């Protein structure tokens, strides 16, 4: 019962490099989310996908792109990393969907990214 | 604008004492409300949730929270703190669009 799996767990990038953070869930959830966590700021939503084939911007989307590859997978891409993107990134999923009661999110264990 | 506020970024309590972590929301309609806990170097784990059923909600590890519409609050309590409760706690709200909005978190320290 893996839940939400994120890879990698740690990454160090140089300014200007690109990378993709991977996320997969095995709970047949409709909705998936990417958050970043910074000290004193809680978690802020970067992008989300309410269903396969759809994506929408959250609170802090600048500098990121996402792909909902299929129902299981939702990736986050940094095209040209900047030091301001140093953070811990969390992927989450939820049942979502019209007519459902949302019982909250299931989170992955996070990716700690440092941009130097 | 709809938002959530956690009062106190750091709270310290003695082992065996009452734990009270405060959360207030701003909304014209009652939202869904959640408390999550994050242990060091881990992801977030759901403690409890309010989804318009009973106003007193019991969660895991002996925690509970009471939804008070008149005070727009959803404070988290535990009668007797344990060393293992040391962690960061996040209050979160969900409105009609199903996106969770988090508070800034409260770090709980337990004093032996």
pLDDT tens for B47-71 read: 998 887 788 999 999 999 999 989 9
Judge: B43–A103 Cβ closer than 8 Å, yes or no.
no
| A66 pLDDT above the threshold of 90 | yes
- The reported pLDDT for the residue numbered B31 is 82
Q: Do B102 and A40 touch (CB under 8 A)?
A: no
CA distance B96 to chain A (A): 10
Q: Tell me which residue has tokens 């990038």.
A: A13
Residue A72 near chain B (CB below 8 Å): no
Query: Taking CB atoms and an 8 Å cutoff, what residues of chain A touch B32?
Result: 102, 104
Q: Is the pLDDT of residue A20 over 80?
A: yes
CA atoms of A40 and A102, how far apart (whole Å): 27
Please count the residue pairs, one from chain A and one from chain B, whose beta carbons lie less than 8 angstroms apart: 56
Minimal CA separation from A26 to chain B, in Å: 17
Strand, coil or helix: what is A1?
A: coil
Query: With contact defined as beta carbons under 8 Å apart, do B26 and B33 qualify?
Result: no
Mapped onto helix, strand or coil, the DSSP state of residue B98 is coil
pLDDT, position A97: 59
Give the residues of chain B that fall short of pLDDT 50: none
List of chain A residues whose C-beta atoms are within 8 Å of the C-beta of residue B44:
43, 90, 92, 105, 107
Rg (CA), chain B: 13
Instruction: Say what the pLDDT of residue B1 is.
Output: 66
Query: Is A55 exposed, middle or buried (CB count within 10 Å of its CB: 0-12, 13-18, 19+)?
Result: middle
Q: Which long-range contacts (CB under 8 A, 24 or more apart) does A4-9 make?
A: A4/A91, A4/A92, A4/A93, A4/A106, A4/A107, A4/A108, A4/B43, A5/A108, A6/A89, A6/A90, A6/A91, A6/A108, A6/A109, A6/A110, A6/A111, A7/A111, A8/A111, A9/A109, A9/A110, A9/A111, A9/A112
pLDDT for residue A40? 86
- In this complex, the residue of B32, B94, B105 whose CB is nearest that of residue A42 is B105
CB-CB under 8 Å, B104 with A50: no
Band of pLDDT at residue A2, cut at 50, 70 and 90:
confident
Other beta carbons less than 10 A from residue B2's beta carbon: 15
Decide if B102 and A43 are in contact by the 8 Å CB cutoff: yes
Give the Cα separation of A112 and A11 in Å (integer): 6
Give the pLDDT score at A101: 57
């Amino acid at each position: 019962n893996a839940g939400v799996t994120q890879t990698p767990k740690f990454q160090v990038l140089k300014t200007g490099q690109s990378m993709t953070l991977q996320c997969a869930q095995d709970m047949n959830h409709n909705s998936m989310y990417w958050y970043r966590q910074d000290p004193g700021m809680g978690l802020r939503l970067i992008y989300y996908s309410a269903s396969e084939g759809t994506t929408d911007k959250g609170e802090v989307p600048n500098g990121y792109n996402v792909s909902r590859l299929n129902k299981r997978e939702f990736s986050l891409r940094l095209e040209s990393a900047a030091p301001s993107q140093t953070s811990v990134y969390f992927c989450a999923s939820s049942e979502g969907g019209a007519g459902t009661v949302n019982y909250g999110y299931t989170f992955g264990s996070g990716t700690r990214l440092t941009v130097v | 604008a709809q938002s959530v506020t956690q009062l106190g970024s750091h709270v310290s309590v003695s082992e065996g004492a009452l734990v009270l972590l405060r959360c207030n929301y701003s909304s014209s309609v009652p939202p869904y409300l959640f408390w999550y806990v994050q242990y060091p170097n881990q992801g977030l784990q759901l403690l409890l949730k309010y989804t318009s059923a009973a106003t007193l909600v019991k969660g895991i590890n002996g925690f509970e929270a009471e939804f008070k519409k008149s005070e727009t609050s959803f404070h988290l309590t535990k009668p007797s703190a344990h060393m293992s409760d040391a962690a960061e706690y996040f209050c979160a709200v969900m409105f009609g669009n199903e996106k969770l909005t988090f508070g800034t978190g409260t770090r709980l320290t337990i004093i032996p």
